[in-house]
Chain A
Amino acid sequence: MQAQTEVNAPTPKMPQRKDKGFKAFLKKCKDQRALLIMTIPFVIWVFIFKYLPVWGWTMAFQDYKPARTFSEQEWVGFKHFLFLFESDRFLGVLRNTLAQSVINMVLGFVTAIGLAVLINELTNMKFKRVVQTISYLPHFLSWVVAAALVSSVLSIDGIINEILMGLNLVDRELLFLGVGEWFWGILGAAETWKNVGWNAIIYLAAISMIDQEQYEAAKIDGASRVQRIIHITIPGMKSVIIVLLIMNIGYILEAGFEAQYLLGNGQNVEYSENIDVFVIKYGISQFNFALATAAGMFKTVISFVFLVAANSLSKKMGQGGLY
Chain B
Amino acid sequence: MKKAKKRKSGFMKTREDVIFDTSNIIFMVLLCLVMLYPFLNQIAISVNDASDSVRGGIYLWPREFTWHNYEHVFENASVLQAILISVLRTVIGTGAGLLCTAMVAYAIAQEKFVFKKSVTIIFIMTMYFNGGLIPTFLLMRDLNLIGTFWVYILPTLISAFNLIIMRSFIEGLPKSIFEQARIDGAGDFRVFFQIVLPLSLPVIATVALFLAVFQWNQWFDVFLYNSSNEYLTTLQYELMKILSNSATQTGDMASAFANSGGGSAEIVTPKSIQATMTIVASLPIICVYPFLQKYFVKGMTIGAVK
- Binding between chains A and B: yes
A residues engaging B (CB < 8 A)? Answer: 2-7, 9-15, 25, 28-29, 32, 34-36, 38-39, 42-43, 45-57, 59, 66, 115, 118-119, 121-123, 125, 127, 130-138, 140-145, 147-153, 157, 159, 177, 193, 197-198, 201-202, 205-206, 209, 212, 215-216, 219, 224-226, 240, 250, 258, 262, 265-266, 276, 279-280, 283-284, 289, 292-293, 296-297, 299-300, 303-304, 307, 322-323
A135 touches B32 (CB 8 A): yes
Contacts A/B (CB < 8 Å), 10 sampled: A15-B114, A42-B104, A45-B158, A46-B126, A123-B3, A133-B290, A144-B236, A152-B42, A193-B35, A201-B300
B265 contacts the other chain (CB 8 A):
no
14 new A-B contacts at CB < 8 Å, known A9-B117, A38-B188: A32-B113, A38-B189, A42-B100, A50-B131, A52-B131, A137-B39, A137-B286, A137-B289, A148-B274, A153-B41, A193-B34, A205-B305, A265-B247, A283-B133
Cβ-based interface call for B116 (8 A): yes
Q: For residues 104 through 146 of chain B, which have their beta carbon under 8 Å from a beta carbon of chain A? A: 104, 106-108, 110-117, 119-124, 126-139, 143
Query: Any chain A CB within 8 A of the CB of B65?
Result: no
B95 within 8 A of A: no
Also in contact, A141 and B121, with CB within 8 A (given A5-B160, A159-B37) = no
Q: B256 an interface residue at 8 Å Cβ cutoff?
A: no
Our pick among B37, B130, B188, B224 for the contact of A35 (Cβ within 8 Å) is B188
Contacts known (A118-B24, A141-B285, A142-B281); A39 close to B108, Cβ less than 8 A? yes
Please give, as numbers and ranges, the residues of chain A lying within 8 Å of B103 by CB-CB distance. 38-39, 42
The segment from B15-23, B173-181, B197-205 found at the interface with A is: B15-23
Verify if B67 is at the interface (C-beta below 8 Å from A): no
Q: Which of B68-76, B77-85, B214-222 contacts A (4 or more CB under 8 A)?
A: B214-222
Q: Which residues of A contact B278 (CB under 8 A)?
A: 145, 148-149
How far, in angstroms, from A119 to B27 measured CA to CA in the complex? 10
Return the contact of B282 from the options A119, A145, A177 (Cβ within 8 A).
A145
Asked if A140 and B285 sit within 8 Å, CB to CB, the answer is yes
* Contact present for A54 and B35 (CB under 8 Å): no
Minimal beta-carbon separation of B296 from chain A (angstroms): 8
Closest chain A residue, CB of each to CB of B55: A157
Q: Report B's interface with A, CB cutoff 8 A.
A: 1-4, 6-7, 11, 16-17, 20-21, 24-25, 27-28, 31-32, 34-39, 41-42, 56, 59, 100, 103-104, 106-108, 110-117, 119-124, 126-139, 143, 154-155, 157-158, 160-161, 164, 187-189, 192, 213, 216-220, 224, 236-237, 239-240, 243-244, 247-248, 274-275, 278, 281-282, 285-286, 289-290, 293, 297, 300-305
**A52-B139, A148-B274, A201-B301 are known contacts. Are A292 and B134 too (CB-CB below 8 A)?**
yes
Quick one: which of B2, B124, B293, B305 contacts A5, CB cutoff 8 A? Answer: B124
Q: A52-B139, A147-B243, A215-B3 are in contact. Are A29 and B114 (CB under 8 A)?
A: yes
Q: In whole Å, how far is B120's beta carbon from the nearest beta carbon of chain A?
A: 6
Name the residue on A nearest B157 (C-beta): A45
For the complex, what is the distance from the CA of A304 to the CA of B39, rounded to whole Å?
Answer: 38
Within the assembled complex, what's the spacing in Å between the Cα atoms of A172 and B218? 37
Main secondary structure, interface of A, reads: helix
Q: Determine whether the beta carbon of B32 is less than 8 Å from that of A131.
A: yes
Given contacts A42-B100, A202-B305, contact A28 B131 (CB under 8 A): no
Report which of A2, A121, A201 forms a contact with B20, defined as CB distance below 8 A: A121
Chain A residues with CB below 8 A from B121, complex form: 323
CB pair B35 A150 closer than 8 Å: no
In-complex Cβ contact of A6 among B6, B110, B139, B303 (8 A): B303
A276: chain B residues within 8 A (beta carbon): 133
**B275 partner residues in chain A, CB cutoff 8 A:** 152
Contact of B36 among A45, A134, A297 (CB under 8 A): A134
Question: Bound complex: CA of A304 vs CA of B131, how far in Å?
Answer: 12
Complex Cα gap A27–B94 (Å): 36
Query: By the criterion CB–CB under 8 Å, are A4 and B24 in contact?
Result: no
Closest to A3 in B: B304
Give the residue among A10, A142, A201, A293 with the most B Cβ atoms within 10 A. Answer: A142
Q: Which 9 A-B pairs have the closest CB atoms?
A: A53-B131, A56-B135, A296-B132, A142-B217, A34-B188, A4-B304, A149-B38, A53-B135, A205-B301
Given A149-B278, A193-B35, A296-B134; A157-B56 close (CB under 8 Å): yes
Q: A213 to nearest B CB, angstroms?
A: 10
B135 CB to nearest chain A CB (Å)? 2
**Within the assembled complex, what's the spacing in Å between the Cα atoms of A156 and B20?**
37
Partner among A3, A12, A197 whose Cβ is within 8 Å of the Cβ of B116: A12
Q: Using CB atoms, name the residue of chain B closest to A119.
A: B28
> Within 8 Å CB of A125, what residues of B?
1, 4
In the complex, are the beta carbons of A279 and B112 less than 8 A apart? no
Q: Are B300 and A118 in contact (CB under 8 A)?
A: no
Q: A153–B134 contact, CB under 8 A? A: no
- Closest Cβ–Cβ distance, residue B122 to chain A (whole Å): 6
Contacts of A293 on B, CB cut-off 8 Å? 132, 134-135
Cβ of A320 to closest chain B Cβ, rounded Å: 10
* Min distance, Cβ A64 to any Cβ of chain B, angstroms: 9
Query: With A and B bound together, what is the CA distance between A5 and B301 in angstroms?
Result: 10
Q: Across the interface, do A212 and B243 meet the contact criterion of CB distance under 8 Å?
A: no
Q: Give the residue name and chain of the A residue nearest to B6 (CB).
A: A216
Which residue of B111, B128, B240 is within 8 Å of A307 (Cβ)? B128
> Known: A121-B24, A131-B31. Contact between A284 and B300, CB under 8 A?
no
In the bound assembly, the distance between CA atoms of A165 and B237 in angstroms comes to 34
- A115: chain B residues within 8 A (beta carbon): 31
Chain B residues whose CB sits within 8 angstroms of the CB of A119 once the complex forms: 28
